[in-house]
Chain A
Amino acid sequence: MSPVSVTEIRLIVHLGLMLIAGMVAGELVARIRIPRVTGYLLAGLLVGPSVTGLIKGLELRNFDLIAQLALGLILFNIGGEFEAGHVRRFGRKLLTVTLFQMTLTWLLVTCAIWAVSGNGVLACLTGFIAMETAPAATLLVVKEYESEGPLTNNLIALVGINNIICLSLFPVVVALLFGHFEGSIHAPLTVGKSLVVGVALGLAVSFLEEYTRGAKGQLLVGLGAVTLALGLSYRWGGSPPLSALVMGMAKVNSSAHGPALIQKLDEAVYPLYVLFFVIAGANLHLDTLRLVGLVGAAYITARTIAKIAGTAWGAHSAGLSHLMKGYLGPAMLSHAGVAIGMAMALGRQGTNDGIIAQTLVLGSVVVFELLGPIAVRFSLVRSGEVKMASLLPHAPGHSGLDNLEKVLHQVRRSLGIPMKRMGPTDRPLAAKHLMRSNVETVPDTAHFDELLKIISHARYDLLPVIDKEGKYVGNISFPQIRDVIFDQTLADLLIARDLLDHETAYVTPDEPLAVVLQKFHEIPYEVGSLPVVAESKNPNVVGMIRQRDIVDMFRLIRSGNEERTRSR
Chain B
Amino acid sequence: MKLSEFLQPELIKVGLEAKDKWEAITQLIDLMVDAGLVRPEHRAKILEIVFDRERSMSTGMERGIAIPHANSSLITDVVGALGLSKKGIPFESLDGLPAQIIILLVIPKDKFQQHVRTLAGIARLFNHEQVAHAVRNAENAQEAMEIIKTEEGKDLFYS
Interface residues of A (CB under 8 A from B): 444-445, 447, 480-481, 483-484, 487, 489-490, 492-495, 497-503
Contacts and interface: CB of A to CB of B under 8 A. Distances in A.
B22 interface: no
B112 A495 contact: no
A486 to B, nearest CB: 11
B109 interface: yes
A447 B59 CA distance: 12
Interface in B101-159: 109-113, 116-117, 119-120, 123-124, 127, 159
B123 to A, nearest CB: 5
Contacts of B111: 502
Given A447-B57, A492-B61, A493-B67, A498 B123 contact: no
A490 B56 contact: no
Nearest to A477: B113
A445 B67 contact: no
Contacts of A501: 113
A490 B109 contact: no
Given A484-B120, A492-B61, A493-B59, A498 B94 contact: no
Contact of B119 (A447, A490, A497): A490
B63 to A, nearest CB: 12
What is the size category of the interface that chain B forms with chain A? 20 to 34
B43 interface: no
Contact of A494 (B62, B109, B116, B124): B116
Contact of A497 (B53, B116, B127): B53
Contacts, number: 56
Given A489-B124, A490-B123, A499 B61 contact: no
B interface secondary structure, majority? helix
Given A484-B120, A490-B123, A493-B119, A499 B56 contact: no
Given A484-B113, A502-B110, A495 B56 contact: yes
A489 B123 contact: yes
B71 interface: yes
B106 to A, nearest CB: 13
A494 B71 CA distance: 12
B56 A445 contact: yes
Contacts of B110: 502-503
B116 to A, nearest CB: 5
A495 B56 CA distance: 8
28 contacts: A444-B56, A445-B56, A447-B57, A481-B116, A483-B117, A484-B117, A487-B116, A487-B120, A487-B159, A489-B120, A489-B123, A490-B116, A490-B119, A490-B120, A490-B123, A492-B61, A492-B94, A493-B61, A493-B69, A493-B119, A494-B116, A495-B57, A498-B53, A498-B112, A500-B112, A501-B113, A502-B112, A502-B113
A288 to B, nearest CB: 64
A64 B38 CA distance: 81
Nearest to A485: B116
Nearest to B116: A484
